[in-house]
Each structure stands twice: as C-alpha cells, then as structure tokens.
Structure 1
Amino acid sequence: MSGEKRGEEEEALKTVELENGLRLVPRVKVNLTVYPSTPLSLNHPIDEWKMKRALIDFLHSSHSLTLPDDDLQITRINKRKRHHHHHSNPATAAVAAATLRVWDLPSHEFRRRLAHDLDGIELNLQGATFRLAASVPASDDFAAVKKEWEEHSAFRSRREPDTVVLRGVPSRWFAEPRVSSKPSMLVTHTIFSAFGKIRNLNVAEDDDFGKDTSEDSGDLVSGLYCKIVVQFEKYRDFHDALRALCGRSMQKEGSRLKADYEVSWDRDGFFRNSRNQIQEKNNMASTRASDHYKSEAPRRQAYNSRHSPDNARPRRVNPSLGRGIIFGDQPY
C-alpha cells in the first residue's frame, strides 16, 4: 500500500475538530434489510427487540463488537407498505429495515469490510430464519461520491463543483447562545471557515428532514434541524470539506447526541438560481414575530452573497438593520 493511501486511511479514522465545540466523529454506518429465508418466517410478526438482540449478539461473537442498543435501530415494515414497495413475491419482500452505527473503529479494514461481512448472513429467531442484505449509504463512500461529481462535471463540460449541502444538523448547534435557538449565519460561517474561504452561504430551517422516519423515532419538533449550503472559493477546500464530512457524524462538547446528518454536493446550482428563491421567499414572508428569522433570511443571504460574481446585484439591506439581521434575531 502506498504511503499516500495509508495516510488517507489513517486520516479517515481521526476526529476533525471544528469551532464552537463541534467535532466530526468517524463512524461506520450500515443499512440492513431483513428478508424471510423460510416461508415460516412470514407467519411470525418480527419482534424488533428480539431481532435487535440477535443481531447485537451476532456482532459480539463474530466481530468482538459490544454495541449499545441505541446504535442499532430496527423498524418493522408492515404488510401494506411491503406490497406497495415490492411487486415481487411476498416471500422475498423485506420484513424489516435497520441502521447500524459503530463508533469505535479498530481499523480502516474493519470499516471497509463490515457491510460486506454482514451481507447475506442468516439469523435464526424463534425457529424462523431471516437473511440480511447490508450496504453502506451512498453518501458515506467518498471515493464513489467524488467519481460521481467528476463524471458529472466532465459529461456536462462544467467547472468543478464547489458547494456542499448538509442536512439534519441541530439548529441550536449553529445558533448564537443566549440570543436565539435559530441557526445564525455568522456562527455557521465561523464553523465552516475551518475548511477554507467561503464565497456564499445559506442557512435555513429544515422541517422536512426526518419526516420519512417511523413515528416512534422521537419527537420531531419544528425548527429542530437546519439545512446548510456552503460554497467555497476553491475546489480544493470543497473537496477536503466533503471528504471530512463523509463517514462522520457531528457532536457538540457536553452533548451525548451524535447528529447523523446527510451530506451531498450541489448539482443544481443553488446560488446561481438563488435570485428566484429570494423572490419566492420574499413573497411568502410572514410578519409574525415567530417567523422573524424566515422573513429575514433572504436579506441575510443578500448580505453574505455580496462577494459572489454570480449574484452581483444592488444590496437591499438597510444599514441600520444590518447588525440585527446578521448577528441573530432581536430578542422578543
């Protein structure tokens, strides 16, 4: 193995420290789908707790992994959903879906092989046999993501991408303490400047994130998550930021929560199309105090986009309002 390759693999197992007490913690995430191996399995509704115990015990014996219950989440797929999603023989349709996360990674080899090792194994549960299909989420495979954007750029004869899209990070981690629980443009700018010089930034509440998860996955409060779109001046900084964000979760000092965000690169020219978005947001802006942040967001974006050649346009920010807009919400 070349020194460069070994260096990259060692790098992938390191924690990345950011500003504001935030860090990116390496982990391996595996998506599992559970299928019945025998027709008998279909007559046994899956007991999620027993299935979880069987899987955790299997990982302990096969990989010497000691997993807390929270690091394996199993959701039963009910029959109606199953028939809706699969037009195939019900005997081969999935009966459950699971997500496994492992934080203490012994080696890069372990990280690379875990999904491969779990794919196709069989579990016996109360006299019924189930088979697992395992895969790593597409966005966790940096090499594949990079290949995708390189092919996209070459095929469309476009310049290299420069914009990272992050969904599912807690709004309060990007807020100004004691000012607001809403995400702040200034705080977010400070955090992502760790990767390089930023050309453009957009931060918005992301109420749609997590809507597809099962109802018992926790209480989804409005404004809990935010979506961050950050455009770097240099391709190299975009590349390194995306590499750091792939295969990691975010944690804040003093918090046990590890935010399992989604990261991707911007295919749609978010900032090139942002004029239309600003117009749309202005039309929908509400005057209620609770919507203060949302209605100010377009003006914040106009302020922060002033360096972008794509967005050259007169500023519409009232200088007397500037500080209130940029440095968090007015207290109310």
Structure 2
Amino acid sequence: MSSKPFDSASPLEPIPIDASLTLVPRVRLTLTVHPANPSHTSSVDDWQLKKALLDFLRSSLAAPLSVPDGDLELRRVKDVRKRRRDEPVGHGSLVIRDLGFLKGSRGSRAAAEEEEGGEEGVRVLEEKYADWKRYLVEKMNGMDLVLGGVKFVLSAEMPVSDSFEGMRKEWEEFYAFGNRGNSRGGRQEPDTIVLRGLPSRWFAEPRVSSKPSMLVTHTIFSTFGSIRNISVADDDDFGRERDEDTDGLVSGLHCKIVVQFEKHRDFHNAMKALCGRSLEKQGSRLRADYEVSWDKDGFFRNSRSETQEKSSRMTSLASGPYRSEVPKHISRYSPERTRPKRFRE
C-alpha cells in the first residue's frame, strides 16, 4: 500500500491499518498529585480527586469535555508516610477521545479543503490541534485542588512519545550531534519503531494461539511500507513498570513489537500515524493505549552481534581444548593402545 494516505492524513482522522484494526486519535496526559505542604502525611482521596478533575473538564475549559470514568485513571500511593518529601501522593493518566469539536470550530475554507483532502486544510487543523493540546496542558498543570480541607497541586504533562513533532526533533538532534545511526552509509536517519503495551491476542493467529504471530504482525505493519526486520516478544514488564500495584498481573497480555523499515520515509509516515492514537479492534470495546518510540540503541544490529558472538564462542569451543579429533598417540581404529597380536598361519 502506498504511504501517501498516512503522510497526508488529518490528525483527527481514524486510520485503518488492517481489516479489523484501526488507529483512532486521542490525547493523553500524565498526571501527578503533590501536597501543597511537602510534609503532609495523609493520603489523597482518589474518588474526590477524580470527581474534581471531571468537574473541571466539564466547566472550566473553553470547549467543555465529557470524559468517561474509565478514561481517567488515578492511583494513590499506598503508604504516604514512606514517601520522600518531593514524591507525589498520587498519579494517573487522562485520555480524551472525543475530539470532534476541533473540526467544527475552524473556518469554512479550511474545513472545505480538509474534506476535499487539501493539504492546507490538514496543515491548519494540525496547528489548531497542537495549540489546543498546549492550552489543555497549561490549564491543568499547576492546578490547586482542595480535597477534604487539604490543598494539593496537580502536575500535567504530555508524554514525549505522544508528540510526533517532539520525537522528530529528538531524532534529528540525536543524529546531528550523536554521530551514530542504523542506516548504512550516507546521511544517518532512524528507521526502526518500538511499540509496547499492545494486546498480544490482536497479533495472534485466530483459533491457533493467543501468542503474537510474526506472520500476522509482519502483514499488519507492512501496510506502512517494506519491512527489513521485525521482532515480536511478550512484554510482561509493561504494566509493572507503569504501576507498582500490579503484583497479580497475568503474563502474556502485552507484547513488544520492533519494526525496521527499508526506507526512512516509511518509518516517518508510520510514526506520524501511530503517535497520538490508540489501537481499536473491530468487535472489541477495548482500546489499546500503547507506547511508541524510535530505536536509539540499534536493536537489530546488537541482536546480530550477539548471535555472531554466540556462534564464534561455539566455534572456538569446538576448536579449543575440547577438540574432537583423534589423538595422535592412539590408533584410529583401536580404542586402546595395544600391541598387535601375531597368529600363526
């Protein structure tokens, strides 16, 4: 499939990548809650905090937002007395999926150009979308919250992995000043995407296994362009890294996918499509809020080096002190060094 649809897609437009999988736009913020008084030792009431934030979204923004309870996750620290003075008493995330109001608030010319697939309309919408996200972060970051007579301060930020422009700036600086990369000769540019937190079953062969399949995964991501290398593995640490209260997390739920494209252009367009979106499967109410990043460490290059190193070790062992050749002092045909017997005719 040509990469043109991904390159010119509107930031608010769903992008189908498979017969049953679609990338849907959303905005995600990471939230942390600190007490206004660092010496405060009482835990935050997560129910009151959630209600206060939902009320704020409905009543204090230029365009009111109605967010379902499930899209605002808040977790309080188990034992506040054990926290350091600079650590939060609660943390969580906010996901906003209903972004249709951004389309209706633009000029008629830009809207018409977007409906016709005009590049100018898409560019205008991208700018407006970026401005609104900055506005949302500015409104929520540093909010004062009074819960149960105690004052708290909310911090809100957008993950770097949710900003395509932010990641593009990051990799351009990395290759400009780091003087290393994965491309072979010429200008060094990234070509490998790393995805975490994807549901394993969505990349498995139906009625065969619940484990992610290399073939299915390759078929899905080849929609973005020609693939040079691909890796699929279980990602059991994904949930545990994000939340300390996941001792009973079932293994095999998430998978990590690493895709290396033949061309930087396909990598670029895939990153643009994947950033700031969730994965939705037809017939499922679940939306996967995965994490996307680009490979800075040469995943496939290092994997090949490890394989070659193991192969070299095996070769050296075979030719080292444990050689399998027959010692010279022992007869090739006799298991022991014995004197030949003579028989009379």
Range into which the TM-score falls when normalised by the shorter chain: 0.7 to 0.9
Between the aligned partners of 1:210 and 1:148, the Cα distance in structure 2 is 26
Relative distance call for 1:130 and 1:156 in structure 2 (3 A) is: closer
Following superposition, the deviation at residue 167 of structure 1 comes to 0.8
Between the aligned partners of 2:73 and 2:209, the Cα distance in structure 1 is 32
Higher helix share: 1
Contact map agreement 2:7 2:269 (CA 8 A) in 1: no
Secondary structure of 1:194 counterpart = coil
- Count matched residues: 268
Residue in 1 aligned with 2:144?
122
Between the aligned partners of 1:16 and 1:171, the Cα distance in structure 2 is 20
Residue in 1 aligned with 2:29?
30
Deviations 1:127-178 (A, max 9, x none): 2221111110111121111111111112233410100011110111001101
Residue in structure 2 matching 1:150, options 172, 195, 199? 172
Residue in structure 2 matching 1:100, options 94, 104, 121? 94
Is there any run of 5+ residues in structure 1 with no aligned partner, and where? Answer: 1-6, 84-89, 283-332
Secondary structure of 2:40 counterpart = helix
Relative distance call for 1:154 and 1:31 in structure 2 (3 A) is: same
Secondary structure of 2:298 counterpart = coil
Task: Give 2:93's aligned amino acid.
Answer: T
Residue in 1 aligned with 2:221?
192
Correspondence 1:202-213 to 2 at 5 A: 202-213=231-242
Contact map agreement 1:38 1:128 (CA 8 A) in 2: no
Secondary structure of 2:189 counterpart = coil
Secondary structure of 1:94 counterpart = coil
Deviations 1:268-298 (A, max 9, x none): 111112224547999xxxxxxxxxxxxxxxx
Task: Give 2:46's aligned amino acid.
Answer: E
Relative distance call for 1:272 and 1:101 in structure 2 (3 A) is: same
Is there any run of 5+ residues in structure 2 with no aligned partner, and where? Answer: 1-5, 103-128, 181-187, 312-345
Do residues 165 (structure 1) and 194 (structure 2) align? yes
Contact map agreement 1:204 1:228 (CA 8 A) in 2: yes
Residue in 2 aligned with 1:76?
76
> What is the TM-score with the length of structure 1 in the denominator?
0.74
Relative distance call for 1:79 and 1:280 in structure 2 (3 A) is: farther
CA root-mean-square deviation: 2.5
Correspondence 1:235-274 to 2 at 5 A: 235-274=264-303
Between the aligned partners of 2:245 and 2:172, the Cα distance in structure 1 is 39
Percent identical pairs in the alignment equals 57
Following superposition, the deviation at residue 220 of structure 1 comes to 2.3
Between the aligned partners of 1:231 and 1:238, the Cα distance in structure 2 is 8
Secondary structure of 1:199 counterpart = strand
Between the aligned partners of 2:307 and 2:81, the Cα distance in structure 1 is 41
Deviations 1:205-232 (A, max 9, x none): 1122111243656952211111111011
Following superposition, the deviation at residue 123 of structure 1 comes to 1.5
Residue in 1 aligned with 2:54?
56
Following superposition, the deviation at residue 93 of structure 1 comes to 4.1
Between the aligned partners of 1:224 and 1:127, the Cα distance in structure 2 is 41
> What is the TM-score with the length of structure 2 in the denominator?
0.72
Relative distance call for 1:238 and 1:272 in structure 2 (3 A) is: same
> After TM superposition, which residue ranges in structure 1, 4 or more long, deviate above 3 angstroms?
7-10, 213-219, 276-282
